[in-house]
Amino acid sequence: MKNIFVEEFVNDNGRQPTVSITTFGCQMNEHDSEILMGLLSERGYKQTEDRKIADVAILNTCSVRENADKRFFGTLGQLKKIKEKNPSFVTCVCGCMMQQQHIIDKLKSSYPWVDVIVGTHNIDKLPNLLDNLIDEKKRQIEILPEAKEIIEDLPSERLFKHKALVNIMFGCNNFCTYCIVPYTRGRERSRNPKNILKEIEKLVSGGVVEVMLLGQNVNSYRGECDGEVWKFPRLLEEINKIEGLQRIRFMTSHPKDMSDNLIKAYGKLDKLSKYVHLPVQSGSNNVLKKMNRRYKVEDYITLINKLRTEVPEITISTDIIVGFPGETEDDFLETLKLVESVRYDSAFTFLYSVRKDTPAEKFKDQVDEEIKHERFNRLVELVNNISAEKNSEYVGNVYKVLVDGYSKTDATVLSGRTDGFKLVNFRVDSDASDLIGKIVDVKITNAKTFSLEGELFLG
For residues 35, 42, 195, 222, the Cα torsion angle rounded to the nearest 10 degrees is 20
Residue 202 CB, nearest approach to ligand SAH (Å): 27
Site string for ligand F3S, 150-189 (x = CB under 6 A): ------------------------------xx--xx----
Question: What residues numbered 56-115 form the site for ligand F3S, per CB under 6 A?
Answer: 62-64, 95-96
DSSP string, 73-91: HHHHHHHHHHHHH-TT-EE
Near ligand SF4 by CB under 6 A: residue from 6, 59, 79, 181: 181
Q: CB of 91 within 8 A of CB of 3?
A: no
Residue type, 91: T
Cis peptide before 252 (omega within 30 of 0): yes
- Name the residue nearer to ligand SF4 (CB basis): 130 or 181: 181
Pick from 29, 217, 220, 349 the residue near ligand F3S by CB under 6 A.
Answer: 29
- Comparing CA positions, the residue from 312, 239, 306, 308 lying closest to residue 269 is 239
Contact criterion met (CB below 8 Å) for 94 and 119: yes
Give the nearer residue to ligand F3S in terms of CB position, either 96 or 176. Answer: 96
Q: 353 touches which of ligand SAH, ligand SF4, ligand F3S, none (CB within 5 to 8 A by kind)?
A: ligand SAH
Nearest-angstrom CA–CA distance, 142 and 119: 7
Q: CA 44, CA 77: separation in Å to the nearest integer?
A: 28
399 phi/psi in degrees, rounded to 5: -130, 155
Q: Minimum Å distance from CB 120 to ligand F3S? A: 7
Residue ranges in 312-412 assigned as alpha helix (H): 329-342, 369-392
Q: Residue 62 touches which of ligand SF4, ligand F3S, ligand SAH, none (CB < 5 to 8 A by kind)?
A: ligand F3S
Residues in contact with ligand SAH by CB under 6 A are 64-65, 178-179, 181, 216-217, 252, 254, 279, 281, 319, 321, 350, 352-353, 355
Q: Which does 72 bind (CB under 5 to 8 A by kind): ligand SAH, ligand SF4, ligand F3S, none?
A: none
Which C-beta is closer to ligand F3S: that of 185 or that of 372? 185
Nearest to 126 by CA among 164, 85, 154, 94: 94
Q: Which residues bind ligand F3S (CB under 6 A)?
A: 25-26, 28-29, 62-64, 95-96, 180-181, 184-185
Q: Which residues bind ligand SF4 (CB under 6 A)?
A: 172, 174-176, 179, 181-182, 216-217, 254
